Structure 1
Amino acid sequence: MSAESTPEPGIPGEPGTNGPSRRGKGRRRKPRAAHRKGLMITAWTAAGIVVLGGTGVGYVYFKLNGDLKSVDIDQALGTDRPEKADNGSQNILVLGSDTRSGSNKELGGGADDGTARSDTAMIVHVYEGHRKASVVSVPRDTLIDRPACTDTDGGSHPAASGVMFNSAYSTGGAACAVKTVESLTGIRMDHYLEVDFSGFQELIDELGGVEVTTTQDIEDPDSHLDLTAGTHRLTGEQALGLVRTRHGVGDGSDLGRIQLQQAFLKALLDQVKDIDLFGNPKRLYDLADTATDTVTTDSDLGSVNSLLSFANGLKGIGASDMTMITMPVVYDPADPNRVLLEEAKAQQVWTALKNDRPIPKSATKGTATGEAKGVVS
């Protein structure tokens, strides 16, 4: 998939007073209403912990906690970073990685040497009060100036000019991806979430599939996708094909793929809202087990308690509360397979998010779109 918790992946919020209250052992927590949903992966993880924690099955907590993988981005990047917001808003970089190692190797595309790229990248801004969010998808094919960075193993990587955005992750992993986004936007990334191909596919299957409607036939052998126009309940494999396809819709660019990803994300959020996850402890555990085994976070989110607290703070945000755009870009005149940042319009986006304001419609007017909008709903 080419990344707007996110996996796509889940979207965390601010811990603290909105976190879960303590309760005595043996007391059963009443199921929450279906509309009090979390966002994507972290919400599913949190839900499983909430329900199963009340049964006294303590080993569940330790298993899920032990499965979580985290990276210390703050340690790698040091203090030379944008300032944190002081109003409770949050910025999260959500990446979908296309590593070809392990179980991902059979899912197609890219190199098979175990290296990885950020095939999907979304900057998620959660507004003060945690009732609304904006998602900015960053095209992987955007040509940028990548800053020098240090990875989480202490390795140093020099700056590079005119390289693709997703080269930051393949060069220096999560830390370099965060450093590049902060350099590009001037905005501090408070958190980081990553999910890989196999994890995304498994999560959709555990959820029971996601229903989407296509307005035209979509066929792309490269992503193993063959859908006729109409309504479909996608399996994990089909969902992965949909969010990865770039040749089956629109102008065949990464921008068209982003349009499909955003439409799928909204369908996924609606699905979570409509399903009584809290009434099925086994499904909740299976979702939580899959999520914690396939998601990588920054170290601040690297525990079940942290994920639960963050997800609890965002449980009211649904698809209708999210604004989704693509970072303003134009096609590269020298190469139609690459795009360039439309700097003036992009600055409108970054200024709005820095000031915790809605993204103005003028920021995306007249920019490249990929011509796939409306193909999937």
Structure 2
Amino acid sequence: MTVRSDERGDDGGAADRQVGRRPRLLKAAGLALAGVFALGVGTAGWAYWHLNDNIKSVDIDSALGDDRPPPAAPSPSPAPLPTGALNILVLGSDSRSGEENAELGGGDSGGARSDTAMVVHLDEGRTEATVVSIPRDTLVTRPSCPLPSGGSTSVAYSTMFNSAYSVGGPVCAVKTVESLTGVRMDHYVEIDFSGFAKLVDALGGVTVMTDEDIDDEDSHLKLEAGTHHLDGEQALALARTRHGIGDGSDLGRIGLQQTLVKALLDQVSSTNLLTSPARLYQVADAVTGGLTTDTGLDSLGGLMSLGQSLRGLTSADVTTVMMPVVPAPSDRNRVVADEPEASEVWASLR
């Protein structure tokens, strides 16, 4: 079931035009990983080991146990590829860990937050999808989350959504999303600063068009209104820009990120990776090198299976929506879910 167009938030139209094809990025990743084997038997063996070793993972199912929403119904009959409904939490992390992330992020901040959060829902049959963006500045109730070192976090009320990742990592991010939505996250995918920048560079950059001048001292991005071809570092700066455009809110940044994702997907579509093994490997290396997944997707086999199951999905089959929000009464610089519209969006996915 997909969300109808009349259920979109204020930015729903822009999201539909610009972010709707995100599941195709997963499809392209699967295609790229599968095509690595064109490099030759010996080289492919090394490439498989290297790319498989790139992927970092977190055992979210073990950490959260059974205190979760029920999973989607399994496929009614056996199939060569999975076809059942699926929900994937996709996060963009602003972690500064590692030299490359610290440099791209402007220094080591000593922590990490989830700057971008999207729930990708794949319908039964994998022929339609819905993408719901959750603003990072949304005030939520953060549930108690287990910690890797033992113990758990305390319940927090009226706290920013992205604090879940800061205090409890992917496990707490997933639990907070499930608490907010009532929808079980079957998988988790996270990409960091350097992984995103390397992916853009591996694809030869991206071309974007901006409607207004951008001058953001924080992201160090200056662009005049018009069309620009960006490399990976510039594209990352665009994704992080918020103070140099619009009202400076997170909602404005979501609009920029949506423009960038559309440009990235257009670049994926226009690049025939299978005709260039070197480019193909570079893209696959960028995709896997910047990823953290749950243990169900922490192998080339898992990612390839997911990507191949989406091979028939096109942008026309994808509906996008931002979770409906309104300014928070307690802080006009924050937002809260706009009810009952927000609950209706999540109910439609369930």
TM-score by length of 2: 0.86
Distance 1:317 1:45, change over 3 A: closer
Deviations 1:299-321 (A, max 9, x none): 00010111001100112333333
Amino acid at match of 1:280: S
Cα deviation for residue 284 of structure 1 reads 0.7
Comparing 59-68 and 163-172, the one that deviates more: 59-68
In structure 1, distance between residues paired with 2:217 and 2:330:
28
* Structure 1 Cα separation of the partners of residues 22 and 172 of structure 2: 20
Give the SS at the match of 1:223.
coil
**Equivalent position of 2:290 in the other structure:** 294
> Could you say which structure has the higher helix fraction?
2
For 1:51 and 1:160, locate their aligned partners in 2 and report how far apart those are by CA, in whole Å: 45
The one of 45, 48, 70 equivalent to 2:57 is 70
Pair 1:183-2:179 in alignment: yes
Q: CA deviation at 1:175?
A: 0.4
- Which amino acid in structure 2 is aligned with residue 283 of structure 1? R
User: Could you say which residue in structure 1 is the equivalent of 2:34?
Assistant: 49
The number of aligned residues is: 320
TM-score, L = length of structure 1: 0.80
In 1, distance between residues paired with 2:87 and 2:50? 29
Of 169, 172, 184, 1:173 maps to: 169
Residue 105 (structure 1) aligned with residue 90 (structure 2): no
Structure 2: distance between partners of 1:146 and 1:77: 14
Determine the C-alpha separation between the residues in 1 that align with 2:231 and 2:225: 16
Residues 226/213 of structure 1: CA separation in 2 closer, same or farther (3 Å cut): same
Q: Show the counterpart of 1:312.
A: 308
User: Matched residue of 1:157: which SS?
Assistant: coil
> What is the distance in 1 between the residues matched to 2:245 and 2:60?
36
Per the alignment, in what secondary structure is the counterpart of residue 180 of structure 1?
helix
Shifted more, 129-138 versus 52-61: the winner is 52-61
What whole-Å deviation, never above 9, does each CA across 1:313-345 have from its counterpart, x for those lacking one? 112333333222211110123322111111211
Measure the CA separation in 2 of the matches of 1:152 and 1:73.
11
Given that residues 91 and 189 in structure 1 are in contact (C-alpha distance below 8 angstroms), is that contact kept between their aligned partners in structure 2?
yes
1:220 to 208, 216, 228: 216
Identify which of 140, 151, 154 aligns with 2:147. 151
Name 1:247's counterpart in structure 2.
243
Question: How far, CA to CA, are the matches of 1:137 and 1:179 in structure 2?
Answer: 16
| Corresponding position of 1:18 | none
Deviation at 1:269, TM superposition (A): 1.5
Moved more, 168-177 or 333-342: 333-342
Measured after TM superposition, the shift of residue 227 of structure 1 is: 1.3
Q: Which amino acid aligns with 1:72?
A: D
Residue 218 of structure 2 aligns to a residue whose secondary structure is helix
Where do 5+ consecutive residues of structure 1 fail to align?
13-38, 355-377
> What secondary structure, in the 3-state scheme, does the structure 1 residue paired with 2:313 have?
coil
Choose the corresponding residue for 2:339, options 333, 337, 343.
343
Residue 273 of structure 2 corresponds to residue 273 of structure 1: no
Instruction: Kindly indicate whether the alpha-carbon contact (under 8 Å) linking 1:49 and 1:285 is maintained by their aligned counterparts in 2.
Output: no
Code of the aligned partner of 2:29: W
SS at match of 1:256: helix
* Higher mean C-alpha deviation, range 89-98 or range 39-48: 39-48
**Structure 1 residue 256 displacement after superposition:** 0.8
1:206 aligns to 2:202 (yes or no): yes
Contact map agreement 2:30 2:308 (CA 8 A) in 1: no
In structure 2, what residue type is equivalent to 1:64? Answer: L
Q: Percent identity?
A: 57
Q: Secondary structure at the match of 1:156?
A: coil
TM superposition shift of 1:199: 1.1
**Residues 97-106 or 318-327, more deviating:** 318-327
Q: 2:89, 2:120 within 8 Å by CA — same for their partners in 1? A: yes
By how many angstroms is 1:289 displaced? Answer: 1.2
| More off after superposition, 344-353 vs 212-221 | 212-221
**1:240-277: per-residue Cα shift (whole Å, max 9, x none)?**
11111111222110011111212221222222111111
Alpha-carbon distance in structure 2 between the residues aligned to 1:118 and 1:229: 28
Q: Distance in 1 between matches of 2:197 and 2:340?
A: 37
Alpha-carbon distance in 2 for matches of 1:146, 1:89:
26
Q: How large is the Cα RMSD of the aligned pairs? A: 2.0
1:261 aligns with 2:257: yes
Aligned partners of 1:43 and 1:308 also within 8 Å: no
User: Does the aligned pair in 1 maintain the 2:324–2:341 contact within 8 Å?
Assistant: yes
Shift in Å at residue 296 of structure 1? Answer: 0.5
Q: 2: CA distance between counterparts of 1:318 and 1:227? A: 31
